[in-house]
Structure 1
């Protein structure tokens, strides 16, 4: 089972992906496009071209997990704009907001880390 924890590294692919691709092809995209090791334990998040589904790829030490969420109506409203970066890092609460079809960068969540005064 995949459990999303605050210390996990979550990488989002900015470019849409053909969702006919399976685990092996998505892992190859992690290496070539996202410049990351698919065996690192990171969560890799992909969007389809129609913006109706998200796939998450993760390696748990024994094998790969692939999860998909497809909206029954509408499209995902937020996704980063295509630019020079091919990857965007997300925090766990931002991924959860994205999966609920929200904008992860316009939420009013507490900051992830604060320095404690001495």
Structure 2
């Protein structure tokens, strides 16, 4: 089972993805487009062009797990894209949960919280 916790590192791919890709194709994208290893237990997030499908990929120690969601109505709202040329964007647990639940990202207001050096 793919579980997403608040301490997990999550990386959203900024370009739309072909949702026909499975484990090997997604791992290849991670290796070829980033400096990351897909077996590092981080969670990698992919969204298709029409933004009605999302995949989360994670290595769980003995194999890969994919969470795949297809919306019957609506679209997945994505965080603003960075113009620095990066392929993947580090995002927070809260952002992923809001994306999966259909909560708008633009109008949210983050309240001040203490953050340690290791947090997002």
- Tell me if TM exceeds 0.5: yes
Specify the alignment match of 2:11 in structure 1: 11
CA distance 1:107–1:82, change in 2 (3 Å): same
For 1:100 and 1:55, how far apart are their aligned partners in 2? 14
TM-score (ref. length: structure 1): 0.85
Q: Is the Cα contact below 8 Å between 1:6 and 1:92 reproduced in 2? A: yes
Alpha carbon RMSD of aligned pairs, Å? 2.1
- CA 1:2 to 1:107, structure 2 compared with 1: closer, same or farther past 3 Å? farther
Q: Which of structure 1's runs of 4+ aligned residues deviate more than 2 A?
A: 77-83, 101-112
Residue aligning to 1:21: 21
Structure 2 length normalisation: TM-score? 0.83
Structure 1: gaps spanning 5 or more residues:
none
Query: Which piece of structure 1 moves more, 36-45 or 98-107?
Result: 98-107
Shift of 1:34: 2.7
Q: How many residues align?
A: 115
Consecutive unaligned residues of structure 2, counting only runs of 5 or more, are: none
Match of 2:90 in 1: 89
